[in-house]
Structure 1
């Protein structure tokens, strides 16, 4: 029987993804390290500030792991939340786990802590790249109901390996932000089919923005995470030039919809992609 990754809380995902009983949490809720900014604004806090961090084993191998809780402020990053992520990442080059796993679910920076959150995200990115430079792979898993947007969307693309479900979403700006900035004619955030065609896991996998596409199943995420443990991707000049070439090709694309892009990528009957399950999509052999 499968268990939906999207419907699990952060700690439920950790319990089911990692080896049973292996997760040791740092700064757990009992420590009550909460955001000072939310308290000043009279906003309810969470005793873990919306993220669980610690060490564990995965298939018997040591890993560091962080899981964002989408039910608390949409997984938004504030000062304490970001500091916990930075602390985890900075400890990795010293203790040298086999990998760092980030179960990302976030709308980006909390508006309540805008400046502190922005600084925190920049520190997370720097610490993540230091982990990669030390030869330790960083694997991001995206499948929560809130997606992975804003600063955390950038953090995810800084990682070695991204695993997404077909329900997962990844982008810089969320649909509501785009609509608020440029109008509903530019992007209708209420059009769920459009949102998933543009930011969803299938699109990100087809366009090369994620490395593995899985079903919305914790066991599938676990298998993909195990497979990624040895997939460190060194940051090199050649790799950056390849990324820039990919971005340049997108700038030359003159279509205005994901289906047009899939067609340009050579996918036959691209309009059928939203209706295909993961196995059927992978069987097309287009990635």
Structure 2
């Protein structure tokens, strides 16, 4: 890798992998030449991608062997279909056998592919089960979110089932996307056209302050790489006690912030100084503003 700044947001799945891993170390599994694509899309008259919108394989990260998957944002919004999901599940199953230092998931998706919704939903359940099997084996699953599609739908749930999450300010995480919420509840409840509202509610800074993301980094692949290296080998226990604690924390969160109408009110409740300026702060300044919050919330 060169020292030049490279935007994670603006790059393709393969470019992200190439720049994240050690130089020339990536070996792709089921590349486009093998033509594994969705059998459902041609029936519906839709275009296909010979990798079905996801790149999987193995490589080195600071000399440590990792398995890696990256969703292609330019193909159907990184959506999950039958083959797409099967490739991701297969990669996770391979991790249990090969025991790499980590599995890296570069998630950039609007969720399940509507053209093959049933197959996509089944795939989500298989991916989630495979994530738990990898974690049970003591192998950390690290999620990186910083793409144009965000991380929505069933994959948003999968992301929170993993050991660690690295996110950029530009990244977004939620189960339901802005347009879905507006369609279901009305524009009065959530205006999907209000991009500032979307990022305040679902964006990287909010997810970091709420404890959903472990690390927040600038939109720079080198920053994502350094953050991922820092988490190699750092698995979290997958036990009833830890899950119970997380459920208790979620219940406490709902009680504490239920009266807040906007994320800025939540930030104020958390004790963030000058909370209204959080969206404008650069990442170093934001980390300084939020340092005491993270210490208190996760002590």
**TM-score, length-scaled by structure 2:** 0.95
Question: Which stretches of structure 1, 4 residues or more, deviate above 6 A after TM superposition?
Answer: none
Q: Does 1:54 align with 2:41?
A: no
Counterpart position of 2:267: 262
Give 2:94's match in structure 1, choosing from 85, 91, 100: 91
Counterpart position of 1:15: 18
SS at match of 1:283: helix
Question: In the TM superposition, what whole-angstrom CA distance separates every residue of 1:115-174 from its partner, at most 9, and x where no partner exists?
Answer: 000000000000010000000000000000100000110010000000000100000000
Distance (Å, rounded) in 1 between the aligned partners of 2:82 and 2:240: 32
SS at match of 2:243: helix
SS at match of 2:139: coil
Moved more, 240-249 or 60-69: 240-249
Distance (Å, rounded) in 2 between the aligned partners of 1:105 and 1:74: 8
SS at match of 2:176: coil
Question: In the TM superposition, what whole-angstrom CA distance separates every residue of 1:4-30 from its partner, at most 9, and x where no partner exists?
Answer: 100000000001000111110000000
SS at match of 2:9: coil
Structure 1 unpaired stretches of 5+ = none
1:34-113 aligned at under 5 Å gives the runs: 34-113=37-116
RMSD between aligned residues: 0.7
Counterpart position of 2:190: 187
Question: In the TM superposition, what whole-angstrom CA distance separates every residue of 1:150-204 from its partner, at most 9, and x where no partner exists?
Answer: 0110010000000000100000000010011111111111101000000000000
Structure 2 unpaired stretches of 5+ = 295-299
Q: Does 1:274 align with 2:279?
A: yes
Give 2:136's match in structure 1, choosing from 133, 150, 155: 133
Counterpart position of 2:216: 213
SS at match of 2:104: strand
Q: How many residues align?
A: 287
**How many angstroms does 1:234 deviate by?**
1.1
1:137-286 aligned at under 5 Å gives the runs: 137-252=140-255, 253=257, 254-284=259-289, 285=291, 286=293
Distance (Å, rounded) in 2 between the aligned partners of 1:54 and 1:184: 42
